[in-house]
Amino acid sequence: MTDDRPAGGTRVDLDTASAVIDLGALERNITRLREHLAPTPVMVVVKSDAYGHGMIQCARTARNAGAEWLGVATPIEAMRLREAGDTGPLLCWLYGPDTDLTAAIEADVDVTVHSAEHLAAVSAVAATLGHSARVQLGIDTGLSRNGAPEQDWPQLCLLAREAVDSGAITLTGIWSHLAVANDPEHPATLAQLEAFADALKVAADAGLPPVTRHLSNTDAALMLPAARYDLVRLGIACYGIHPGVGFAGTDLEAVMTVRARLAAVKPITAGDGVSYGHTWIADTDTVVGLVPIGYADGIPWQASNRAEVVVGGRRVPIRGRVCMDQFVVDLGPDATDTVGDDVIVFGTDRDGVTATDWAAACDTINYEIVTRIGPCLEHEYRDPPELEAVTTAADHGS
Ligand SMILES: *Cc1c(COP(=O)(O)O)cnc(C)c1O
């Protein structure tokens, strides 16, 4: 596989700031999760550029770590994986009414069908290609997002049965998605489990063959063993991020570290205001440092006066508003830090500040913190030890 990340797609040079992606940590996380969940097979979800970590590199690492399946949202993402050389089981589930599914069906991507219209479109492509389409059926059991509404499900199953019989499709799975997966006791979770079981009965009654059944994301896979069925779809945990409170799983290591180097260091005096709007005024003399990335690089504006970064091994607060391309931190009155010193914006538990800390400071979820970095900052990949020998600089693109 090769990287498809566009060269020159970021505005900051590598020395100034980057997202360091520890593929060894990714591999260890997936290995630990697979051991913890065995014998249930695992789909590693690499949508949205692997939650900002880099889809091609993460997909390759996931396969090496034994992931039986990969999952993405859109057929475009799926085709990027195929074009990069991935040939394994690969599911996509989100596309528009006029999306051309030809390439995905020809490349044996599993396409999720949520409606009779989807099924007709997929069957038509299959007929044109003379190539049976790999299809999974999606049922809405209570998320009210994608998936066939329960009242349409029996009819969809009958139509799918006809398409299987005619050879237009090969049915490979039936699946749904939970709304409150982080709460196994929640009435909505229990209702969805029941609705899924009912939907499987309807499918069997319609004469559909037994196929891979799946319902669980990270939270459900780890907290609700009854929902594991034949496959679990793991996203956030693979990237070493604990999905929510109450998570009692296996040890995970953060895969992404956002780092930068101080672009300026200077003393300021009590009474000086910092950054746009002077939303912070120094109450004592102190030393401030300038971090040369901002909201154009995926740093949330909401972090203004709220989040912290690590400089010289200690946590220091952001002062004033985050700007488009920079923000200011308070290094403290006795700071000896100098221009060029390293800043960990967020990273592993060991670093002392994580994406989860940033999410709490910014009133958002850790998923968003890492994902928004993806298209913005240059990625530096650290290979797992056993891969170092076989990957080349060319695999890493820019
Ligand atoms: C994103 C996604 C997942 C992965 O969810 P995590 O909480 O990151 O494990 C699983 N299934 C579907 C349908 C998704 O959209």
- Looking at residue 372, its amino acid is R
Closest CA to 347 of 247, 248, 260, 245: 260
Å from CA of 30 to ligand 1 middle: 15
pLDDT over 80 at 398, yes or no = no
DSSP characters over 341-354: -EEEEEB-TTTT-B
Instruction: Please indicate whether residue 266 is annotated as part of the active site.
Output: no
Place of tokens 């089981």: 89
Q: Is the CB of 288 under 6 A from ligand 1?
A: no
d(CA 91, ligand 1 centre) in Å? 12
Of the chain, the percentage scoring pLDDT greater than 70 comes to 92
**pLDDT tens digit string along 121-176?**
999 999 999 999 999 999 999 999 999 999 999 999 999 999 999 999 999 999 99
User: Quick check: bond before 39 cis, omega within 30?
Assistant: yes
Q: Can you tell me the distance from the alpha carbon of 326 to that of 331, in angstroms, rounded to the nearest whole number?
A: 16
Give the separation between CA 139 and CA 205, rounded to whole angstroms. Answer: 16
Q: Catalytic pick from 229, 266, 276, 367?
A: 276
Q: How many CB atoms lie within 10 A of CB 44?
A: 28
Give the pLDDT band of residue 9 (cuts 50, 70, 90). Answer: low
Please give the Cα distance from 372 to 374 (Å, whole number): 5
Buried b (16+ CB within 10 A) or exposed e, 144-182: eebbbeeebbeebbbbbbebbeeebbbbbbbbbbbebbb
Local confidence band at 384 (pLDDT 50, 70, 90 cut-offs): confident
Nearest CA to ligand 1 atom 14: 217
193: helix, coil or strand?
helix
Mean pLDDT over each residue of the chain, to the nearest integer = 93
Asked if 132 and 164 touch (Cβ cutoff 8 Å), the reply is no
pLDDT of 250 strictly over 70? no
pLDDT tens track for 304-355 = 999 999 999 999 999 999 999 999 999 999 999 999 999 999 999 999 999 9
* Ligand 1 atom at minimal distance to the Cα of residue 93: 13
367 is catalytic: no
CB within 8 A of 64, min separation 6: which ones?
27, 384, 387
User: In this predicted model, what pLDDT tens digit does every residue of 26-65 receive, in sequence order?
Assistant: 999 999 999 999 999 999 999 999 999 999 999 999 999 9
Nearest ligand 1 atom, CA 51:
8
Distance 277 CA to ligand 1 centre (A): 39
Q: Does pLDDT of 394 surpass 60?
A: no
Q: Which of 233, 234, 247, 371 to mutate to test the pocket of ligand 1 (most atoms within 8 A of CB)?
A: 233
User: HEC states along 57-87?
Assistant: HHHHHHHHCCCCEEEECCHHHHHHHHHCCCC
Binding site membership of 177 for ligand 1 (Cβ less than 6 Å): yes
Distance 396 CA to ligand 1 centre (A): 26
Instruction: Return phi, psi of residue 339, to 5°.
Output: -55, 135
